[in-house]
Structure 1
């Protein structure tokens, strides 16, 4: 193609195509503003789409995160529906120890050679019981250290292992003292038995177990405590006694007799205590020994 023909062809092409944009400043500024506006709309739309996607994914992410940790026991502000987690209770692994039960052939407890404890804490408790009984003697009576004809003291304490075969271990503490008024002598006894695991009896049934006693029994109320008071027919070693069983199973007896065990001394002419005074003594914590 000749140079003239090429020039004509290029000129013809330029004539048929769209003319270039006007170089007018106002028109150029207006086009620039419209382009910027379209760009802002495009950017805002893209951000909105991103936010919508983020919101749509949010709950799934929260649920997934919450599922990877223990649920909260409470919702802040108290507006949630989550229920508080129950606090697990500690499970005791300690098995209650059953009371020891005596079997045939078992040795006597605490190194004893028989049922009686002649030394140690148990013997000391019996001595304390005897001293408390001496302190209870009312005015007009005394408790001197009198002797039997063979020279033995009429005041004696005793601590005794009381369980038989098949029974729970339990102990009985006793004390006997002479009571004198003038030249006449009677006696008092206090007994405290530790809990033996046996069923509770009515006050009078319990009173009838002491010395195999027979006679008339009445129930005396001492500040709400029911005490059995048994008065014998005069054929027992004691004329009258009161008994009270504590809620823990400890049983206390207090007994009195106008006549002592010594035949060379005349008996008292009157009881040391009234029936009510005897019942009150049976409920005194001074006579309770539970171990």
Structure 2
């Protein structure tokens, strides 16, 4: 087939084909509007889906109790409150069957032990001294107290403290004995124990009484409420402090010498009459 025949064939094919309908402006506008509407619908659906996903994400991120919806699950537990066994436990029961009002026993067996301790102090007043009693004086010349200290491993620990003025004529000093029952957390080493008394510290030496080792502070540190004191821990854990001072601290004339030597003071700490429970 030559070029002329090819052109003739193409003309014949084009003449046989139906021409397309004429373009209408109305039809073109309708088509464009339909396409625009479809695009708006697609964007709206996409936006809704994004909002749903965003809300779901926020709901997941908002913690319970922050004002948003939270997924199902166990409620958060409250933070534990600090507790103090010492403040939470009741005071020991008194003879009336009710807890004490505070640490001090004002009746019952423990109170009686404090009174007994004072009686034992009066019984060891050395020759040449008296133990006067003057209830009208602004500072009592005789005192005693039984005090609950703590509960250690289920055991109540008590302390008994009693003191008496020791006089030579108008001059007065003081003797005090303090007992801590078994279970106390005081040191075991004699001088560490002695320095623990009222936190006064001081220079200490170990004095031997029979087979007992007693810590004796013979020179106090900066605290001079007493001049000397001895400390002994019995094998069962009971601790005894025996302290002496040359003055009462109330303006009265002081003793010229202490009532007991260091050895005698150490013997008082070991004396079974002060070994109370």
* TM-score, with length taken from structure 2: 0.63
Please say if 1:108 is aligned against 2:96.
no
Contact 1:129 1:174 in 2 (8 A): yes
Please say if 1:249 is aligned against 2:204.
no
Taking the aligned partners of 1:227 and 1:248, their CA distance within structure 2 comes to 15
Could you say which residue in structure 2 is the equivalent of 1:146? 134
Q: 1:165 to 1:289 in 2, by over 3 A?
A: closer
Which blocks of at least 5 consecutive residues in structure 2 are unaligned? 1-83, 94-98
Taking the aligned partners of 1:208 and 1:190, their CA distance within structure 2 comes to 15
Q: 1:190 to 1:179 in 2, by over 3 A?
A: same
Residue correspondence of structure 1 range 14-163 to structure 2 within 5 A: 103-110=86-93, 111-147=99-135, 149-150=137-138, 153-163=140-150
Could you say which residue in structure 1 is the equivalent of 2:208? 221
Please say if 1:270 is aligned against 2:257.
yes
Which blocks of at least 5 consecutive residues in structure 1 are unaligned? 1-100
Contact 1:103 1:166 in 2 (8 A): no
TM-align CA RMSD:
2.2
Offset of 1:165 from its aligned partner?
8.6
Contact 2:200 2:221 in 1 (8 A): no
* TM-score, with length taken from structure 1: 0.60
Question: Rg bigger for which structure?
Answer: 1
Offset of 1:104 from its aligned partner?
2.8
Could you say which residue in structure 2 is the equivalent of 1:286? 273
Q: How many residues align?
A: 188
Q: 1:236 to 1:220 in 2, by over 3 A?
A: same
Taking the aligned partners of 2:236 and 2:152, their CA distance within structure 1 comes to 22
